[in-house]
Amino acid sequence: MKKTKILYIGNNLAKKTKYQTTLENLSQQLINANYNVIISSNKVNKIVRLLDMCFSIIKNKKYLDYILIDTYSTTNFYYAFFTSQLARLFKIKYIPILHGGNLPDRVKKNTYLSKKIFKNSYKNVAPSNYLKNAFEKEGYIVEYIPNTINIKDYPFKKREIIKPKLLWVRAFKNIYNPTFAIETLQILKKNYPEAVLCMIGPFLDESYNKTLELVKKYNLESSVEFTNVLSKEDWHKKASEFDVFINTTNFDNTPVSVIEAMALGLPIVSSNVGGMPYLVIDKKDGLLVDKNDAQQMSAAITSLLNNKYSNLAENARMKVENFDWEKVRTKWLEILN
């Protein structure tokens, strides 16, 4: 029986950056489900990467059944535009997979390009109801398929006593607002001098230096650990040493790192932006605070330390068990068969 052949377009840079993406996760799951999957591109230079993506379509055009296209709101939006139009030229079914909390604004600002991409696609897939709803308001048809994890890979740790040991996992980029984490720690240490913070993620823009400057300004050098990128296995192991997961972003969709933290049993405190209120129900399976409000985030963490919301972690684990690949796979199989 002939295998369905898929070209997956996105940033395949995990081996270079050690920063695992949804592309790596989903492509492997589809391969395990007996699909023939080609991935493009692993080129670091952005122009070379776009050319490589386009060449992959041209090279394989006679054999492809579908093209999956990771679609973001920044530079990658143009990757999605050019590759989708090439797919149209060769009459290949393509499926944009929507990512990035700021994508709704991009769609509103670039209506012409957006219509070219999303009105002509075979399907549009959103990993969050936040993006699904935002796109449907603009007149697009979107199917919801959540980001997935293999739940068996995530041992749940019950934290009987919550200590002021904070974990942050994200790339150091301005939109993810890493300095917010330092401001929060500074306030928290007034009542909990033993409070510490571990920040895991690649250093991608000047926000890393700004974070270092703030650490120095507040004399927090002995309280903040920077690990740079860790493999998924290593950061999961590291997570067992901490008790609260903080998410400080200014824009967001449905971050896999937050889903993973929920699976591992870390109570979540997050800025209330983008898709976060679609993932986390405030005071039920996590705590949501206003973006860039360090006083509010510190107060939310304090409420956890005082055992005010004792069932958050268990509720969160039950929620993300529904994101297990074995439960979600049928949605992808329906689209791709």
| Structural domain contains residue 328 | no
- Looking at residue 44, its pLDDT comes to 86
Token couple for 90? 């060769």
| Structural domain contains residue 332 | no
159 and 80 in a common domain: no
- Looking at residue 18, its pLDDT comes to 54
Query: Average pLDDT per run of 10 along the chain, which is 337 residues long?
Result: 90 62 88 94 92 97 96 91 98 95 91 97 95 96 94 94 97 95 98 98 95 98 96 93 97 90 98 94 97 97 95 97 94 93
315 and 188 in a common domain: yes
CA atoms within 13 Å, Cβ hemisphere of 32: 11
213 and 70 in a common domain: no
Hunting for tokens 């969709």 — which residue is that?
A: 253
Buried/exposed 76-95: b ≥16 CB within 10 Å, e otherwise: bbebbbbbbebbeeeebebb
136 and 10 in a common domain: yes
DSSP string, 216-246: HHTT-TTTEEEEE---HHHHHHHHTT-SEEE
- Looking at residue 16, its pLDDT comes to 52
- The residue out of 113, 145, 177 marking a domain boundary is 145
How many other CB atoms sit within 10 Å of the CB of residue 243? 22
| Structural domain contains residue 158 | yes
22 and 61 in a common domain: yes
| Structural domain contains residue 59 | yes
58 and 157 in a common domain: no
Task: Tell me if 49 sits within 8 A of 41, measured CB to CB.
Answer: yes
- The residue out of 145, 172, 203 marking a domain boundary is 145
Domain CATH number, residue 21: 3.40.50.2000
217 and 177 in a common domain: yes
- Looking at residue 15, its pLDDT comes to 56
- The residue out of 145, 169, 196 marking a domain boundary is 145
202 and 96 in a common domain: no
Read off the pLDDT of residues 8-29 as tens digits, 9 standing for 90 and up: 999 876 655 555 678 888 999 9
Token couple for 236? 């999961």
Helices 207-217 and 178-188 cross at an angle (nearest 10°) of: 20
Read off the pLDDT of residues 114-129 as tens digits, 9 standing for 90 and up: 999 999 999 999 999 9
112 and 235 in a common domain: no
Which of helix, strand or coil describes residue 290?
coil
| Structural domain contains residue 337 | no
- Looking at residue 20, its pLDDT comes to 61
| Domain containing residue 279 | 151-321
Give the whole-angstrom CA distance, residue 185 versus residue 178.
11
- Looking at residue 281, its pLDDT comes to 96
Instruction: Locate all alpha helices (DSSP H) within 7-99, ordered by sequence.
Output: 14-17, 22-32, 46-60, 75-89
- Number of domains within the chain: 2
With a CB cutoff of 8 Å and minimum separation 6, the contacts of 235 are 169, 200, 227
CA nearest 261: which of 240, 278, 288?
Answer: 240
- Looking at residue 19, its pLDDT comes to 53
Give Rg (Cα) of the chain. 20
Torsion, Cα of 22, 237, 279, 284 (10° steps):
170
181 and 137 in a common domain: no
| Structural domain contains residue 314 | yes
Which of helix, strand or coil describes residue 142?
coil
| Structural domain contains residue 333 | no
| Structural domain contains residue 54 | yes
246 and 197 in a common domain: yes
CA atoms within 13 Å, Cβ hemisphere of 179: 17
91: left (phi over 0), alpha (psi -120 to 50) or beta: left
155 and 110 in a common domain: no
